[in-house]
A and B are shown apart, each in its own frame.
Chain A
Amino acid sequence: MTSVAERAQTRPGRRARSQDSRRRLVVIGNGMAGARAVEEILARGGAEQFSITMFGDEPYGNYNRIMLSHVLSGEESDKDIFLNPLSWYEDNGITLHAGVRADRVDRFAKHVFSSDGRVTPYDTLIIATGSRPHLPPMDGLYTPGGSVKPGVFGFRTIDDTRKMAEHARHDHHRHAVVVGGGLLGLEAAAGLRSFGLGVDVVHSGSHLMSAQMGPDGGAVLRRSVEGLGIGVLTGCRTTAVLGRDRVAGVSLRDRPDIQCDMVVVAAGIRPNVDLAVLSGLPVERAIVVDDRLRVQDEDHIYAVGECVQHRGEVYGLVAPLWEQAVVLASHVTGADTSAAYLGSRTATKLKVAGVEVASMGLQGPELDTDEHIVFSEPSRGVFKSIVVRDNKMVGATLLGDSRKVAFLTQAFDRGLPLPEERLSLMFDLGTPGAEVGVAELDDDAQVCNCNGVSKKDLAAAVKGGCTSVSGAMDATRAGKGCGSCKLLVKQVVEWAADGAVEEDPAATYYVPGIPLDKAALMAEIRKRGLRSVSAVFQALAPGGAEDAKSKMGLASLLKMMLADQYIDERDARFINDRVHANIQRDGTFSVVPQMKGGVTSVQQLRRIADVAEKHNVPLIKLTGGQRIDLLGIPKEDLPQVWADLDMPSGYAYGKSFRTVKTCVGKDFCRYGTGDSTKLGIEIESRFQGIESPAKLKLAVSGCPRNCAESLVKDVGVVAVEGGRWEIYVGGAAGAHIRKGDLLATVDDPEEVTVLTGRFMQYYREHANWLERTYAFVPRVGIEHLRAVIVEDAQGIAAQLDAAMQASVDSYVDPWSERADPQTPGQFRTSLPLTVLPQVPVQ
């Protein structure tokens, strides 16, 4: 805090406040945005840094505006909706000027001028002036004196709500008209209906809630609203409020007048920008802020909430406000100066007039290729519409049944891959799987099948204080096996934390020990010319600390980036990569010689048989990748086994290119249309041993019967009639099942090899550590991959091909290390007193 002390001495204005050396933070606006911003600032130690003053033009503490409709309908009393009572301000040492309106800011002298004549100096200013109801132009809205005609109400503040209720309770008031059939209008209508008034909603749009849903949903909603006894007029404009000194009715365009005693105007909101305009701050539709929520070109003025315009968007919902408040507080307090607000995807979920409504993203399909799944059951008031693009949900509307909302909101926010059977997006079908809301999962349901972690175990870890996903994973080891359950683990943790999941910055790190995502990590490695894992730790890890969990990922990344320029420190490798074999449960290893395309010969088979006999190999097994696996080899025997085999490594142990499975092909098969075995062997010869973020299993099939299972491989090739080849990417049939996406159909095998290499290089450069292609491909999207890899939309194809070529050129068969160990005791046993193998010879 030396900077504060220094400033206090150098700035004469500070001397008067000698007992308080804190900076002065002034917040204009005491609504949900202003108060939330202050809460977030306090949570980041703001009380030590700042003396805080707030202006609110309502004479109250801070309340939850969203609940006003519940107050109107009598479900809650107005006391229930206060978020922060006046005592909260006292307890936190905040000076609150309630009922005082801030009028103007002198941004050069750093003063706020308020309606009570006060001049308040600030060091940092936050503007959170919110918005007000929009009163559309219509005659008779005002009395000749200029005030709003008695009986006309906005629906914005707790005072509005109290007055509306009071007016509605009046004995001789029988009928109300609500102008606006959006969210707020329908809530007002339902609230007034509960007072026994007749209510008509007049909406200028073609259907109700036209900002949130399409006409079909609007029609179902209309039916539900009418079922409450509320009249609905759509496509209808209110032209005038009738009555001389108080409301007597409304005039409508092209429709008869309606007699009424009160009019509620709920036709949208407008940001309160008067203060900003008067103060010379940049205002377009609202106050313009940058990604730090700082007012454009102002170093000391921030703005937050419904009064701001960020990247052209003005939000009128509460969720964006929470997100903005976090970023703002991070900057104001200096807690995280890299925080950035990048906009919000707005999803609404609420009960409107007793009807559950959830809406997010697109209302309906926009492209020819968009999928649109619709279910409509007007008699029950149920309507569901989901728009899917590239296997990601881009929009949904749900009415009358919100059971799937939790999953859909997540799918929308995060772009989760969707179940192939789209119907299960709308309804729970059969047993709960990963796609179903985790709330319905049984407590004892096993979430992580590798480490036997149940939903209950995870929930207990969360209750015990592990409120980040990685924290709960560390505590229970859920998701630390094959990793295929990570998504479900994440959902369970989020469910158990009830939305209070800590943002886990580490989730974006490439490896846990270095706080950078992959792109940033690669950029730093290039910029600093780092060539070894230890150099990366020294330069980029916090405190230069090594991290065992990060070593393998870094070693793979550096090898990929640098090829033969990589300085290979053997301790950074996982044991499999140190000894070029796959460790087994008893500490012995499995040896899989290369057998390109699954094609072997008499000589190979004889040699393998001889080796198995000589070394008394306990188990000889055919693998799923069409090779022969010799299992139960003690570490110290590996060099001799390789020497006796005299075959290259088959790479059945690394996070690398593994194998190409092929079918018989056209020489023998009577259906074969392409020479799959020849192409498979070529691909395997070219890409053998290439490191990648996770293993790569390939296949080439000679006809669409797909005997090599090309559709479920990381890269799968299928020969089709006419001498053409289809290339599928992102398939899987292991812990995860996924059919690959068609990347391209090409005319000749050379092109297959080029595109395969280019895809793998793009994957190597962009996938997260241990992210298989079945997750990577849907994450980045097949259309994007087609554009980059096939059409070269980014102009990087030549670069990708060259990088892959460099890796191919630096290939050395690791089994040639047998005669000359790379490190002392490379093949020494690690369990000297245990008799290995522990598996009986078969």
Chain B
Amino acid sequence: MSVPGPGTTSRILGPVDQIPLGEGRAFAVGGEQVAVFRLRDGTVRALAAACPHRGGPIADGTIDRQQVICPLHQHAFDLTSGCSTTGAEPLRAYRVSVDDERNLVLENGQV
């Protein structure tokens, strides 16, 4: 489990089980909307929740181990970096992990 670095604050978003395997769920964190994904290998990723293209709900996208595809116009984004592979603006990427109590921990600093 990663330890938050200096200068960042971390937020516990609740149990990881609230996200089904292979799907994403959105959270409101300090005025920001964050989509957190739980990959089928059990690891988690977090990106900004609104697609930069037309505001589509990224948490409703289809994912694999690398990317998420926005459900509105099929723009694809790398789950780790937030960079688009289809020419859209990037999504902000967040550092996220699961702690020993199986809670989601989101760090409030950009990756």
Contact = CB atoms under 8 A, between A and B. Distances in A.
Interface string B23-60: 11111100111010000100000000110001111111
Interface stretch (B4-12, B66-74, B90-98, B100-108): B66-74
Contacts of B25: 824-825, 828, 830
A552 B62 contact: yes
Contacts, number: 104
Contacts of A572: 22, 62
Given A548-B64, A552-B62, A571-B21, A829 B26 contact: yes
B20 interface: yes
Nearest to A534: B40
A103 B28 CA distance: 82
Nearest to A583: B71
A436 B63 CA distance: 39
A585 B72 contact: yes
A546 B62 CA distance: 11
Report the interface size class on chain A: 35 or more
Nearest to B31: A833
B37 to A, nearest CB: 10
Nearest to B56: A587
Contact of A571 (B20, B26, B27): B20
Nearest to B79: A548
Interface in A276-305: none
Q: A-side binding surface: helix, strand, loop or mixed?
A: loop
A606 interface: no
B110 interface: no
A824 B22 contact: no
B83 interface: no
A377 interface: no
A477 B40 CA distance: 28
B61 A575 contact: yes
Contacts of B71: 574-576, 583
B2 interface: no
Interface string A547-573: 111011000000000000000011110
A480 interface: yes
A221 B22 CA distance: 66
Contacts of A475: 87
B110 to A, nearest CB: 19
Given A545-B64, A548-B63, A548-B68, A823 B23 contact: yes
Contacts of A832: 26-28, 33, 49
A551 B20 contact: no
A439 interface: no
A546 B65 CA distance: 7
A831 interface: yes
A474 interface: yes
A631 to B, nearest CB: 15
A830 B67 CA distance: 17
A87 interface: no
Given A547-B64, A831-B49, A569 B33 contact: no
A834 interface: yes
B86 A474 contact: yes
Nearest to B50: A831
Given A534-B40, A548-B68, A833 B33 contact: yes
A569 B63 CA distance: 13
A828 B63 CA distance: 18
A574 B28 CA distance: 23
B55 A825 contact: no
Contacts of A823: 20, 23
Contact of A830 (B20, B26, B40): B26
A159 interface: no
B69 A548 contact: yes
A12 B16 CA distance: 65
A838 to B, nearest CB: 9
Contacts of A534: 22, 40
Which of B31, B58, B62, B68: most chain A CB closer than 10 A?
Answer: B62
A570 B22 CA distance: 8
B50 A834 contact: yes
Interface of A: 451, 474-475, 477, 480-481, 534, 545-549, 551-552, 569-572, 574-576, 578, 583, 585-587, 635, 823-825, 828-834
Given A534-B22, A571-B40, A829-B26, 18 more contacts: A475-B87, A480-B74, A545-B64, A548-B68, A548-B69, A548-B76, A549-B62, A552-B62, A574-B62, A585-B72, A587-B57, A635-B60, A825-B18, A828-B25, A830-B26, A832-B26, A833-B28, A833-B32
28 contacts: A474-B86, A477-B74, A477-B87, A546-B64, A546-B65, A548-B61, A548-B64, A548-B68, A571-B62, A574-B71, A575-B60, A575-B61, A575-B62, A578-B60, A583-B71, A586-B55, A587-B57, A823-B23, A824-B19, A825-B18, A825-B19, A825-B25, A829-B26, A830-B49, A831-B33, A831-B55, A832-B28, A834-B33
